[in-house]
Chains A and B, each alone.
Chain A
Amino acid sequence: MALIKSKMVLSTIACALVLQAGACTNQILPLIDQLGQTGAGSTKRLHDFYDRVNQIHSQINIDYQDIGKDPPDLPTSSAMNSSSLSVTDQSAISKLLIESSGEIGTSRTGPYYPKDVISARVKCGSLLETYAVKLRLLANSTSAVESQTAVADLQDRLKVLGDTVSQLKYPDAKAAGTQIQKMGNIVLLANMGAQAIVKYFREKWSHQVVENNNKIVDEICVALSDDCKLTSKRVRSRLSGLQNEYQFYYASNESKQQQRDESQHQKYMTELQKISSYQLQIESDNPSDLYDTFRLLHSRLFQEIAGRADHG
């Protein structure tokens, strides 16, 4: 009777655990997996993007020199507030320049974005990636699941063997069978205890980690996404400026003679194609969408966890 009672208690606990694990699997684990997948490899993509942008800015400066001009659109040029801007925008820019302590984060002679500018962005990107990948590790532990399967299997085998032994017509067979069956229950109990600990760590800590980091992840994602958009727009603007300069240069009286030369015309077309390919490349390399997705997934994850906490 005691054995039956014990079995009933165990099966009730097992059902409760399965139900709980199921709820977690349906909502939270897939989001954590998606977050891990989004974060994996993102640091390299971010680093490559800024490196590529710097290469293109350098090429723009070289191309201006090739047509005998100083790059007119560098922020380090002497340009003050442009007359093409509204008074409100001019005033906002003046205020912005004062607030940024007059320091300009780009360079005229070296790379457009210096090393420290890129490293601040890559460091934050790298922390986001580490966070997503490790959170996924924290929430999923396949080895523990495998252990659980192995143990559950053994428990079943002990039960079958216990039944078989009990039915044998040998002295002490029934007592031996009962012992074997009890062993199966001990196996199950020990396993459930350990699994409960791992489950507690996985869920409680995963939830706590997400809650602790929600604000900072949100802020870093917004900052990186904004920055990639700004970086992309700046290089595109400068490419458009260069494109117009080429059109002027090759249409000018001085170059009309050269234009009749097929090779010069070919060079002109090649330059325009190069600019178009840069524009397309920047569009596709820009990782701002990745950080928008990361932010959205983390926000949904946080809401799921907060929702579960609200509903007990």
Chain B
Amino acid sequence: MDNSNIHILSEFVERLEDQVEAMYDNPLAHSDRAYLDKAHELSATVGKASAAVQTMKTGQLNQFADGFETNIDDLNDKLATLETAVKVVEDGAAGIQAATEVIIAVRNLFGIL
């Protein structure tokens, strides 16, 4: 089942659920047993449709997860490489900090402390 079709089916079932709510909201549902039973029957039928769409969605989501997991692994690889690059910058900075020792030596040499 195509993903956009599952979306359309979801919207279809949502509309049916609104129909169920409308029946339950009807004052007849508070006083007429036969009417309430019909509302329950509609609710059970819509429940079936809802469960069917959600079953399809489970398959769809499992497929998405498989595809997305590969991309997340790729993202993790990229992050690991970035961390290495950041380390390069930090190591560079640490090396440069060592140059402060040169500054101190020069300051001492010329007596400008």
- B107 and A161 contacting across the interface, CB-CB below 8 Å: yes
A99 and B112 form a contact (CB under 8 A)? no
Interface residues of B in 75-113 (CB under 8 A from A): 75-76, 78-79, 81-82, 85-86, 88-90, 92-93, 96-97, 99-100, 102-103, 106-107, 109-110, 112
Q: Does A52 contact B (CB under 8 A)?
A: no
Which stretch of A15-23, A121-129, A256-264 is in the interface? A121-129
A65 to chain B, nearest CB (A): 15
**In the bound complex, do residue B71 and residue A73 qualify as a contact, i.e. CB atoms below 8 Å apart?**
no
Beyond A209-B75, A241-B24, whether A154 also contacts B14 by CB under 8 A is no
For A72, give its contact among B44, B64, B106 (CB under 8 Å). B44
Question: Would you call A84 and B72 a contact (CB within 8 A)?
Answer: no
* CA A223 to CA B106, docked complex, whole Å: 67
Q: Which of B11-25 contact A (CB under 8 A)?
A: 11-14, 16-21, 23-25
Contact of B16 among A89, A101, A123, A209 (CB under 8 A): A89
**B17 A223 Cβ-Cβ under 8 A:** no
Categorize the interface residue count of chain B.
Answer: 35 or more
- Rounded to whole angstroms, the CA-CA distance of A168 and B111 in the bound complex is 10
Give chain A's interface residue range (CB within 8 Å of chain B).
Answer: 35 or more
Asked if B99 contacts A183 (CB within 8 A), the reply is yes
Contacts of A1 in B (CB 8 A): none
Give Cα A309 to B38, complex, Å.
Answer: 58
Cβ-defined contact, B48 with A79, below 8 A:
yes
Across the interface, do B48 and A72 meet the contact criterion of CB distance under 8 Å? no
**Given A147-B93, A165-B112, A190-B92, CB of A227 within 8 Å of CB of B107:** no
From B11, B25, B89, B96, give the contact of A240 (CB < 8 A).
Answer: B25
CB of A105 within 8 A of CB of B90, answer no
Of residues 117 to 140 in A, which have CB atoms within 8 Å of B's CB atoms?
A: 117, 120-121, 123-124, 127, 130-131, 134-135, 137-138
Q: Determine if B38 and A248 form an interchain contact, defined as CB atoms under 8 angstroms apart.
A: no
Q: How far is the CA of A141 from the CA of B87 in the complex (A)?
A: 11
B44 touches A176 (CB 8 A): no
| Neighbour of B82 across the interface among A124, A151, A205, CB < 8 A | A205
**Which of B10, B23, B39 contacts A227, CB < 8 Å?**
B10
Q: Contacts A85-B45, A209-B78; is A75 near B68 (CB within 8 Å)?
A: no
Query: Across chains A and B, which 5 residue pairs bring their CB atoms closest together, nearest first?
Result: A75-B47, A79-B44, A100-B52, A73-B43, A240-B24
A-B contact pairs, 9 of them (CB 8 A): A105-B52, A117-B55, A134-B72, A150-B93, A190-B96, A198-B86, A202-B82, A205-B78, A233-B17
List A residues at the B interface (Cβ < 8 Å): 72-75, 77, 79-85, 89, 92-93, 96-97, 99-101, 103-106, 113, 116-117, 120-121, 123-124, 127, 130-131, 134-135, 137-138, 141, 143-144, 147-148, 150-151, 154, 157-158, 161, 164-165, 168, 170, 173, 176, 180, 183, 187, 190-191, 194-195, 197-198, 201-202, 205, 209, 212-213, 216, 219-220, 222-224, 226-227, 229-231, 233-234, 236-238, 240-241, 243-245, 247-248, 251
